[in-house]
Amino acid sequence: MKYPFIEVNLEKIKHNTKVVSNICRNHGVNPVGVTKVSSGSTELAKAMVDGGIGILGDSKLDNLAKFKDIPAKKMLLRLPGISEVENLVEFADISLNSQIETIRAISKEAIKAGKIHEIVLMVDLGDLREGIFYKNKGEILKTVEKILELEGVKLVGIGTNLTCYGAIIPSEENMGELVKIKEEIEKIFNIELELISGGNSSSLCLIQNGGLPKGINQMRLGTSILLGLVEVTWTMIPNTYNDAFKLKAEIVEIQEKPSMPIGEKAMDAFRNVPTFEDKGMMKRAICAIGKQDCDPEFMIPDNKDINILGSSSDHLILNITNCDMDYKIGDVISFTLDYVAILRCMTSPYVRRVYI
């Protein structure tokens, strides 16, 4: 067996998808299955579709291109660049947008391809990432007016994103503002918008607390499906798995060493000045993986007696002093992964994928 590898349990992902999708649909919300953490894994995308997902969302067009034969609509989550509208129209059915210049370019390409590309106009509710700022109603309405004049594109709704940059929690108040904007657009332009795309997995907290405003009918869900987790409340969704992803890494060194480095201290390889606690001599193991391929801050050893001490680019340093198991060179350590570590492992060309 060649290490390291990430083990992906597709049945657990399918199960989580069913559970989360049922919760959403019981509250009038259509879930988009977000695959961006998987670096274009068709296996993971198919598991989501098998679990009931009808729209796959990703931030990379290269990944959506891999999903072209999977029977689901495709949504580009990251704002498209003008330079990539040809691929956008070819591989995505829907995209999130905020700039009329880009939407005009999409219109031209869609007309050329004989397609209708669906547009979700993004509104920034205060998280300060993408979207027209919600208080600038005039700009929102002006952009809507210009979109409606274009051929080859269809304005299907408005959307927002929260927590990813500014860490702003979705609330009844800020999401209610989105509903008001949608209603104002419909009234002024005498149209009906199909959807309000009400953010990502963090927005599930509004279902948890009963504060989801009527009219929010889509959410773009990644963490909640893959980990069964609502991060803003740090709660597990009942009857879901948090261990669908496991990292397996091989031990390449075991040595007794002090817990404190010896000598004059400078910055480490990542320009940090680390601090250490003097715990005397330790039995330390090194696994052949590091920050280039994973993120030690977002992974937990399955053996609870192991502590992660730190990592450099290619060495993961563990404290195995208190382990009952007598580890040897060549033994394998298993880790349960959080979202950031999954992202690193699935993106790395040096970490194999094993699907079960």
Q: What φ, ψ does residue 122 adopt, rounded to 5°?
A: -85, 135
**Cα separation of 78 and 34, whole Å?**
12
State the pairing for strand pair 132-133/94-97. unpaired
Is residue 36 among the annotated active site residues?
yes
Report whether 225 contacts 244 (CB < 8 A): no
Exactly one of 12, 36, 66, 74 is catalytic; name it. Answer: 36
Instruction: Find the largest Cα–Cα distance for the chain.
Output: 74
Report whether 38 contacts 353 (CB < 8 A): no
Reading the block at residue 95, the tokens are 């995209």
Q: Residue 128, SS3?
A: coil
Which amino acid, residue 212? L
**Cα separation of 151 and 140, whole Å?**
19
Catalytic residue numbers read 36
